Structure 1
Amino acid sequence: MQTRDDGQLRVLYVGADRDGVRSAATGIERSGTRLSIVTASSRDAGLETLDEREIACVVCESRVACEGGVDACLDPDVDLDLDLELEFVDAVRQREPHVPLVLFARNAGSEALAVEAFRRGVTDYVQVGGGDESPWSTLVDRIDTAVAQARVDRHRRRSAALLDHRSELVCTVDEGGVFTFVSPAVEDFLEYAPADLLGERGFEFVHPNDRATVRETVGKLLDNPKWEPTVEFRAKCADGRWTLIEATCHNVLDDPTIDGIAVVAREGTDEVENQCQLRALHETTRQLMKARTHQEIADITTEAARNVLRLSVNGVYFHDEASDRLVPVAITRRGEDLFDEIPTFERGEGIVWTVFRTGQAQIYDDVTTDPEAYNPDTPIRSELVFPLGDHGVFIAGSTDTADFEDRTVSLANVLAANIERALDRASRQDELKARERTLAAQNERLERFSSIVAHDLQGPLTVAAGNLDLARTESDDVDRYLAEAATALERMQRIIDDLLWLAREGREIGSVTTVDLDRVTRFAWGHVDTEGATLEDARIPDVRFQADEDRVVQLFENLFRNSVEHSSTNPRSQAHEDSVEHSSTNPRSQAHEDSVEHSSTNPQSQTPEDSVEHGSSGVLVRVDAGDDWLAVEDTGPGVPESKRDEIFDTGYSTSADGTGYGLSIVETIVTAHGWEIRVTDGPDGGARFEITGIDSLEWGGECETENESESESERRTESERTRERKHKRDTGTADPDE
C-alpha cells in the first residue's frame, strides 16, 4: 500500500479506451483530492503498471451487463469481453493478493458477475445507473473505504504472523531502525510495555559497545534480503540493566504484511552469554586501566558488576588510613534502596573487615548465619566479599539465599583481581605525580634560595666589609665599626639559619601531640630577646589542641619576635616609604620602609629617633583564643593594610636587620597543620595575627601529657633543651662543656 510523498494515494484506473479513462481520471480527482490517478486503457497495460509501480487501489471499469448470470455470460453466442473483469481480477490477485480491487460498472451492471468477482477476491463492486448525478463521488467514497479496510486487514495479518512466535520477543523496525511493532513478550524479556518502544530508535536500546556489530549486520541484511543472520548483543532493560539477547533478523521489506526488518529474539544461550560476559569483562579491564582516579575505578566497578555480572546490589569500600575505617565510595542504586544508611566499618567490625585484614575472599549462601555478621537483621542473604589489597574490599549481595552460581563467583573474582591491579596502578601514578610535585617544589625552592642567598646576604656582607675597611683606615671609633660589622655578620647567620630551616623542613610536620597553649607560650617568650616588651601571661587562655609542639613553639617565637622588633628601637633601621630592598651599599645606613621585622640584636644601640619612628620598647603582647582560633596581638604600630598581602612572602622585610623569613616560617607552619593565618588591626591599634581552622582546640582542664607528674625540668621535651642550648650559644652564655 503506497502513499506518495505529498500524502496522496496512488490509484490505478483500468478502462477500455483512452477517452473513457481520461474522463474517469478527471472525475475521480475532482471528487477525491487525496487520490492521484494512474490510468491504463487496456488490461495488459494495467498489469504492466501494477508490476512497475506501487498502487494503493485498483479500479477496473466493467462493461458487462448480463442478466443471465455468469453461465449466460460465458455462452459463446454472447459477445462479451470477459478479460476486463474476471480474468483481470485473477491476474491482479496473483500479483497483489491484498491490494484493494474495485469493479466499477458505469451501466446497469451484472449481479451474477458481482457474485463471481467477490468469490475471486474483488474488494468491492460499485454499480451506478445512468441517472446518478455524482457517480465519481460514489466511487471515491468506496475507494476510501476499501483502502481503510485493507489497512486494518494488513495490521491484523502482520500481528498474527508475528505473534506466531509467542514464546520469543518479536519486533519489526523500519529501514531507519524505528520500532513499528513489538510483541507482548517484551515485558518478560526487557520489562517494557510494547507501547513504550513503538516509535523509538532500536539502536538506543543496544549496548554502546555492541552497536557497531548490530549496525554492520543490519547494513549487510539490507544489501542481501535473503540472508538471515543471528547476532548477539546486550539489550537495555527498563531498570537500566543490560541483558544478553540472541536475535535472528529477516529482511521482509518487500512483504506487505511486515514491511520492515523482523527481529526474533531470545535469551542468549549459556555459551553465548559466557562469551559475551568475558568480552564485556575484557572491555571493563581496559576501562579500569585507563581510569585516573580511585573514585573513577570504583564507579566503573559497580557499573560493570551490575551490567555484566548481573549483581544489582554491589559496592566498593576503600580503607581510610586517617580514621582506620572502611568507607563506602560507590554503591549501586539498588544497594542504596535496601538500606536506610550505608554502613561504615570501624576497625575489626564484621565480615568485611576480616576479609580486608586477611586478604581472603568469603562467599556466603546466607550471611545472617555467620556470627561475625555486622548486622544480623540485614536484608542481604547471599553475599560475596573480595579483598582489594591494601585499598579496601568489593562486596556483592542478594536478598535470596544461595543466589550466586559458580560461574558468577568465578567472574566476580576475576573482576576483583582486575580492580586491585587498576588501583595499584593508580596509586603508583599518584606517587609518581607526588614525587614530581615534590621535585618541582624542591627545584623551585633551590632556585628561590639561590636568588635569596645571592641577594639577601649581599646586604649585610657589604655592611660588614665596609665597616672592617673603616676600622682599618680610621683610628676613631674602631670599636663602633667592629660592632657594626659583628651585627651584620649576626644578621647573616640568622638568614642562613632561616634558609636552612625552610630548605630542610619545608611544609612537613612531625608527630602530633596534645599542646598546652600556656606552656608553649611561656617557653617561646623565654627564648625571644624581648627588649623591654611585656607578655600578658596572666591572660593566656586555658586551652589545648593537637599539633606538632616543636613547630608551634617555633611559630610563637617568630610571632613574638616580630611584635617586639616591629616596635623596638634600632639606629640602623630608619624607615622610608615604599621600599622593600634588603641591602644598601652604605655600611652604616640601609634604607627600608614599613618594617614588619625591625630586628635588632644589639640593645646597646637604641636612639630616641627610632623610638619616635617605631614606638617605645614597652610594647605589650598578648595571646588570645576562641572556638577554633588563636591570636597574637601587640600594641605596636601595626601593619599597613597595603602591606598585609606581602608580609608572608619569603625574604620580604623592610628592616636592615630583619631576615625576611620569620613570618614566612610562621605561614609555613600554619599551612602544614591545615590552618590559615591573617593579619588585622589589634584592639589597641597594633598588629593582630589570627590563626583559624584549629578544629581540635579544647577549653579548660589540665593539659594531659605523658609526663604530667614529673617536675618542670623533667617535663621539657628534648626539642626544648635543644632550643635552650641554641639560645645560649647564640647569646654567648653557653657553658663550654655544652
Structure 2
Amino acid sequence: MTDRQDPRSTLVTDGGIDYREVFENANVGIAINDLETGTFGEVNQHYADMLGYDPDELGEKRIEEVSADDPAFDQAAAVERMQRVVDGESQTFDWLFEHRDGTAVWAEVSLKRTTIGGKPRTIAFVSDITDRKERKRDLEFVEEMVDTLGVGVAAYRESGRFEYVNQRLADILDTETERLLELSICDVNPALEPERFPQYWASFEEGETRTAETTVTLDDHEAVVETVTTCMAVDGVRYHFGTIQDVTERKRREERFQAFVEQSNDIISVLDGGGNYKYQSPSAERILGYDSGALIGENAFEYIHQDDQERVMERFEAAVEKPGGAIVVEFRFRHADGSWRWLESRGFNQLENPHVRGFVVNSRDVTEREEHERQIGELHDATRRMVEATDAQSVADIGIETIETTLAHPIAGIWLSDEGGERLEPAAWTTASEDLFGGPPVYTDGDSLSWEAFATGESIVIADLRDAGGRYNPDTPLRSEMVIPLGKHGVLNIASREPDAFSDSDVALAKLLGANAQSALDRGEREVQLQRQTDRMEFFNSILRHDVLNAMTVIKSRAEFLEADLEGEQREDAATIVRWSEDVKEIVPRVRTVLETLTGTGDPHLEAMGLGPELEAEIARLEPTYPEVSFDVSVPDGPPVIANELLGDVLGNVLTNAIEHNETAGLRIQVTVVDEDGHRVVRIADNGQGVDDEYKEAIFRRDETGHAKSVGSGFGLFFVDAMVTEYGGAIDVEDNDDGGATFVLHLPTAE
C-alpha cells in the first residue's frame, strides 16, 4: 500500500468541501474500487462492518474472496461490472457477499464512474438488503401455497350463516363475497335443509372432518363440488371450516393435488400461544406414526429432542410476540416408535387472525437429507485422508473403513490391479466379508463381474445375483452387489445378503467414494512420477548449470584472449568462437525452462499480457541490428493473450528466425494481427527463400530441424513451439505469395 495513492486524499473539491468526513461516516457502505487489482480498494467503516472486517483488511481483498461461491458472483463478474462502469455505463444490481462469520449478506450495489488522480475509478454505494430478501422469500412461499390450493373456503357457526368466504368460493357460485356473507350454508347447499341443520350441526364432534360430493346452487348457477368440512373450536366457539372445490377442476388436477396433499412429506399443524397442538394434519400419522388427533392438546416441545428444545422455544416465543412473525427452524422430533426424525418447520404467527387464532406450522421430514448430508461430510473427510495417504494400501484401508462406518455396508472389499494389469488382488476388506468368505479371491480376465467392471470402466449394480450371469462363485450367499471401478487401479465391491438392498442414494454415495478413491490413487501415482521427474531434472539442471556453463565460460574467456592477440582470419575465427559461446550460454536457461514446462516441474505463471507492447519491443531491438531489413507492423488494439514473461522471447525467436535464415538485403518482414475465435492470430511473413514442405513440421522439433544456423540444433523454434503449446495455442508455417514463409501463431485471449 506504500506506493499506491490514497483516493481519499483527493476527496476535496475546488469549493473546499471535505468529502472524507462524508466517506467515513456515511450510513451506507462506500468503496473506491481498484480496477487494476480487482480489490475493494478504499472502503468506509460502514461497508467494513457490514462484512465483518476492518476497512484496511477489506480494502486489500479481491471481490471474490468475500463473495458467494457462485459463478454469478466471482471475480470475473465483478471486474466486468466495474469495467462497464469505467466505459460509461452505470450499474445497479444485487450482489451476494459472504460475511466473515460465513453467513450470507445480500447487498444492493450502485456503481458510478469517477476519475481520481487522473485514473478512472469506480465508486460503489452498498446497502444491506438481507432482511428484505428473506421477507420476500417467505412472502412468495405463502402466496405460492395459497395459489396452489385454489379452493373455495368458508366458515360458519351454529346458525349456519357464513362468517367468512373467500373470492374463490364466490367465483364458483358466480356471485360476490358480500352477497354470500348475507346468506347461510343452507341457502347454497340444497342437501342441508334448514329444518335438519340443527341435527347436522350436533352430529359433528370437535376435530371431526367430513368429505362429501354435493351440488351447490345460487340463482340459476349450479356447480358440482367436493366439500371438506372440519368442526373446530376457536376461543371456545365452534365453527365449521369448509373447503369447496369444483369437481371438474379437481379431477383435472387430481393426480398433482393428491400427491401434494395425501402423499406429501409436509405436516400442517396449528399451535396455541403456549405451543400446544390445536390441529395436526393426517399426514402426521404416516410420517410420525401418531394416530389422527393423538397429539391434540399435547405440548409440541415435549416431543422435541432435549438438545434442540431451548433453541426452538426461543425462536417460537420471539415469533409469538410479533404478530405475523415467521420462523424457519430444523430440529429432531420423537417418532411414535421412539426414534428421532429431523423436521424442517416453517411457522407463521396467525394468533390474531380471527379465522385461525393459532401458530401455523408447515413441517417436512428431512431425516434422509440430514443423513445424506452427514454422509457427504464424512465422505469429504475420508477423501481428505485418502489424498493425504502415502500409498495405495492406505487409500484402500481408508475406503473400507468409510464403507463400514459412514455408508453402513458391512460386506465390502477393494481389489487393486497388479503392475501388469493382469490380476485384481485383494487389498482391503471388512470383517464381515472375511467371516463370510475367509480370504478374498484374486480376479483375472473374464472370470467375474469384478473383472468386467474393471475392464469396461462401467459400474455394475445387481439387484439379485441369482438372476445375473458372470458370477465368480455361482453358489454365492450374496444376493445384491455393487461393483465400482477405480479406473486403472482396481475395483470397489459392496454386497448384501438381501436382494435389492441398495437404493439410488446408496449407489450414488458408493460411486462418489469410488471416484474420490480413484482420484487419490491417481494423485499418489502422479506424485511418484513427478518426484522421479524432479530428481532427473535436478540432475540435468546441475549438468547445465555447472558442467556446460562453466565449460562455455572457460572457452569464451580463452577465445577472447586469442581474439585480442591474433589478426586476420585467425582473429575472425576467435570472434566466432566467442559469439557461439554466448549463444550456447543464452540457450541453456531456455532449455531448462522448456524442460521444466514439458515435465510439469516448473510453474509457467500464465497471465493476461498485452501482445502489442511485446511485438513492438522485439522489433525495436532488431531494427538497429539489421538496418537493411524493412519491418511492416500492424497490431490493432485487442484483448490481452494468455502468456508469461517469455512471450517476448517467443516472438523474438520467430522474428530472428525469419531474418537469419534469409539474405538480409532487400528482406521485408510483415507482421499482422487479427482476432479469430477467441485467439489473437499473429502472422510473421518474409519475402525470403521460404521453407520446403518436408521441413515444415521438422523445424519445430529439436531432432528434426531443418534450420541450424544460429544455435546449431534449431532449439529456437523448438522453444517457440513448446511455449506456445503451454500457453494453450499453436504455431505452424505456410507459404506466401512473395515466395517466402509465414509463421502463424494462434495465441488464446484472456477474455
Between 1 and 2, higher relative CO (CA 8 Å, sep ≥ 6) is seen in: 1
Output the TM-score relative to the length of structure 2: 0.30
Question: Relative to total residues, which structure has the larger strand share, 1 or 2?
Answer: 2
TM-score (norm 1): 0.31
